[in-house]
């Protein structure tokens, strides 16, 4: 019986060969990440274990959720994490961007097993790693030992056919999938994105898709590494291990998405699986637009939005926050003139980090409406419990910022 890519990665990490979905593996961790959202809890758990970090070269501590420090408590947490990192010589990324983008730029390779104390760690599956978020206690155990017990998840195979039409993006794919599966439709399962359509999706688009696997309850999301992955890694010394699922691998479910038939989608308040075609709610008034986050704050996303805004002005009643996902992306956007385009259009450029996605910037008041390129629209996540957040692709966000209401990006095309 063949194996899925996830089964192969976890068997390698456990030093085994024949374990399959449902089996427990004691997996060696390639690298571990924590951030300022839960890092203090992890340190407390590590202290309770009476342990210290197992390998300073395989652990990253990242300040990204509350940066620059927005409260005294955030400043205290940052000081604690800086001191902890300095004490043990850990890799410290201090206010340089979103944790997941920084890990992809600096650490993660295909075939790795990556543990992060953040639910969107599954992003790294875009290059064929097994990556998953855990709580602070499991994070402390992994930090202390370099290993973690994992149940090998069953895999849902999502076959992508055809190519995306104009004005439709990878974000629309994952919104469609999450909407169809539901918020718990893939609980503790891996979402494997395959098929001839997968080859047409950029690495950045794959990160977007895998990032939101957790929104359907998934343990991880993953693409099989291919020529697109090779190109992404061309400047890296190490290339990792390119695993692929066997032709006779066993899946618990198979779903087909016809990309050429897909249109722009949007997640409505207050659940990520409350997904509709964008034309069904076009005309909804917005007060704020947000481009950024670990889902859609990459250079490809900024280029798309800047292309929409070039030579135009954001609606006078809309606040448009633009947050590059990392310092490197910020510099690249500056070199390409994208930041000038945003500023000329009337946008606000924020420092790299989680920004409005986590409520660190751009908080909403009662009754206000935001459309954003991020991954969650839970009640009160971005401010007042009676504010509303819609999730969409960077292009849909940008055209809506111009119109002053939710707009179909195909309109007028």
CATH number for the domain that contains residue 52: 3.30.499.10
Say yes or no: 293 and 314 in one domain: yes
User: Do 243 and 311 lie in a common domain?
Assistant: no
The reported pLDDT for the residue numbered 360 is: 82
How many other C-beta atoms lie within 10 A of the C-beta of residue 143?
Answer: 29
276, 221: one domain: no
Q: Of 259, 288, 309, which residue sits at a domain end?
A: 259
Contact 110, 229 (CB under 8 A): yes
Contact 160, 197 (CB under 8 A): yes
Query: How far lies 249's CA from each of 5, 115, 156, 244, 302, in Å?
Result: 9, 25, 11, 10, 38
- Nearest CA-CA partner of 99 in 333, 355, 354: 354
Residues 293 and 312 both lie in one domain = yes
What pLDDT is stored for residue 413 in this prediction? 56
Residue 233 lies in a domain: yes
User: Residue 412 falls within a domain, yes or no?
Assistant: no
Q: Within this chain, do residues 340 and 272 fall inside the same structural domain, yes or no?
A: yes
Q: Which residues contact 97 (CB under 8 A, 6 or more apart)?
A: 64, 324, 325, 326, 327, 328, 329, 330, 352, 353
Residue 409 resides in a domain: no
Kindly state whether residue 408 falls inside one of the protein's structural domains.
no
- Split into its structural domains, the chain has a count of 2
Instruction: Say if 69 falls within a structural domain.
Output: yes
Those residues of the chain that have pLDDT short of 70 are 412-413
In a domain, 413, yes or no: no
Answer yes or no: do 149 and 174 share one domain: yes
Is 250 found in the same domain as 361? no
Question: Looking at 211, 236, 259, which one is the last position of a domain?
Answer: 259
Predicted local confidence at residue 412, as pLDDT: 64
Strand partners, 63: 94
Same domain, 82 and 221: yes
Count of CB atoms situated within 10 Å of the CB of 2:
12
Instruction: Assess whether 308 and 247 both reside in one domain.
Output: no
- Three-class SS of 104-128: HHHCCCCCCEEEECCHHHHHHHHHC
Same structural domain, 72 and 205: yes
Residue 395 lies in a domain: yes
Question: Looking at the domain assignment, is residue 128 inside a domain?
Answer: yes
Q: What is the pLDDT of residues 364-399, one digit of tens each?
A: 999 999 999 999 999 999 999 999 999 999 999 999
Structural domain boundaries, residue 371: 267-403
The pTM (predicted TM-score) of the whole model is 0.95
What pLDDT score was predicted for residue 388? 97
- Using CA atoms, how far apart are residues 375 and 362, in angstroms rounded to an integer? 16
Decide which of 259, 279, 294 is a domain's last residue: 259
Does residue 280 sit in the same domain as residue 178?
no
Are 111 and 233 members of one domain?
A: yes
């Amino acid at each position: 019986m063949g194996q899925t890519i996830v089964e192969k990665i976890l068997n390698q990490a456990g030093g085994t060969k024949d374990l399959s979905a449902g089996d427990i593996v004691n997996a060696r961790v390639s690298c571990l990440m924590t951030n300022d959202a839960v890092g203090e809890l992890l340190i407390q758990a590590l202290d309770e274990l009476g342990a210290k970090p197992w390998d300073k070269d395989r652990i990253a501590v990242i300040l990204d959720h509350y940066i620059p420090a927005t409260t005294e408590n955030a400043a205290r947490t940052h000081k604690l994490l800086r001191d902890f990192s300095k004490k043990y010589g850990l890799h410290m990324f201090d206010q340089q961007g979103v944790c997941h983008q920084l890990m992809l730029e600096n650490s993660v390779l295909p075939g790795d097993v990556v543990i992060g104390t953040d639910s969107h760690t599954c992003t790294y599956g875009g290059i064929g790693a097994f990556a998953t978020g855990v709580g602070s206690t499991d994070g402390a155990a992994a930090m202390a030992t370099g290993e973690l017990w994992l149940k090998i998840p069953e895999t849902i195979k999502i076959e992508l056919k055809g190519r995306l039409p104009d004005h439709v993006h990878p974000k629309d794919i994952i919104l469609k999938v999450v909407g169809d599966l539901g918020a718990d439709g893939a609980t503790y399962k891996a979402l494997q994105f395959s098929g001839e359509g997968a080859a047409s999706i950029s690495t950045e688009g794959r990160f977007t898709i895998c990032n939101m696997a957790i929104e359907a309850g998934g343990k991880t999301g993953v693409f099989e590494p291919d020529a697109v992955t090779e190109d992404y890694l061309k400047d890296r010394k190490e290339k990792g291990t390119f695993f692929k699922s066997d032709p006779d691998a066993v899946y618990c479910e198979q779903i087909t998405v016809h990309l050429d038939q897909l249109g722009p989608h949007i997640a409505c308040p207050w659940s990520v699986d409350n997904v509709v075609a964008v034309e069904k709610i076009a005309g909804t008034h917005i007060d704020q637009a947000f481009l950024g986050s670990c889902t859609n704050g990459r250079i490809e996303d900024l280029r798309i939005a800047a292309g929409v805004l070039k030579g135009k002005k954001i609606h006078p009643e809309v606040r448009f926050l633009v947050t590059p996902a990392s310092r490197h992306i910020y510099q690249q956007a500056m070199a390409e003139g994208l930041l000038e385009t945003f500023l000329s259009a009337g946008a606000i450029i924020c420092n790299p980090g989680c920004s409005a996605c986590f409520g660190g910037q751009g908080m909403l008041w009662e009754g206000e409406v935001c459309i954003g390129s991020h991954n969650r629209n839970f009640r009160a996540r971005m401010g007042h419990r009676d504010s509303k957040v819609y999730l969409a692709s960077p292009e849909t966000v940008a055209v809506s910022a111009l119109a002053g209401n939710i707009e179909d990006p195909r309109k007028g095309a």
